[in-house]
Amino acid sequence: MAHLATPVSEQVTRLRSTTESLLRTYRTGITQRQWHLKRLAHAALDVYAQVATLSRVTQRLDEQGPDLAGRERYLAEAFCTRAAARVDRQLRTVADNDDERTTNIATLTLEHRGYPTPLFT
């Protein structure tokens, strides 16, 4: 399972680096950066889930051997691969996003008390 543990370790390093960068940039104003906080939270959840998954599968491999725990290993590999992609996407969008546009759309929607034209007729 070491081939899955290494990427998780790298994700933790990227998560830490991204978090520290945001804290240096926004300081106490970070609490107002909800889009960034959401991304960090989602990345942290996926990292945690991968660690828990790897821990469980490693325990099963130790108890049952590689042959009996093969299915769990397969599932863990699939889960960790997908979770790693989500972590990567969340951390990448901290720097490259359309937050301003999304916020503007939300503001306009609030001002118009909904979408300005009927969606359904």
Work out the average pLDDT over 46-61: 96
In a domain, 10, yes or no: yes
**pLDDT value for 70:** 83
Using CA atoms, how far residue 63 sits from 53, 56, 75, in Å, is: 15, 11, 17
Q: Is the pLDDT of residue 117 over 80?
A: no
DSSP string, 20-32: HHHHHHHGGGGGG
In a domain, 48, yes or no: yes
CATH of the domain at 88: 1.20.140.10
In a domain, 62, yes or no: yes
In a domain, 29, yes or no: yes
Which of 84, 14, 86 has the alpha carbon at shortest distance from 50?
84
In a domain, 79, yes or no: yes
3-state secondary structure of 112: coil
**pLDDT value for 28:** 96
Q: pLDDT tens across 6-52, in order? A: 999 999 999 999 999 999 999 999 999 999 999 999 999 999 999 99
Containing structural domain, residue 101: 2-111
For the chain, what is the domain count?
1
Supply the mean pLDDT for the chain. 93
In a domain, 119, yes or no: no
Q: Is the pLDDT of residue 121 over 70?
A: no
Q: CA-to-CA distance for 54 and 52, rounded, in angstroms? A: 6
In a domain, 117, yes or no: no
Q: pLDDT tens across 31-42, in order? A: 999 999 999 999
φ/ψ of 113, rounded to 5, equals 55, 45
Q: CA-to-CA distance for 21 and 33, rounded, in angstroms? A: 13
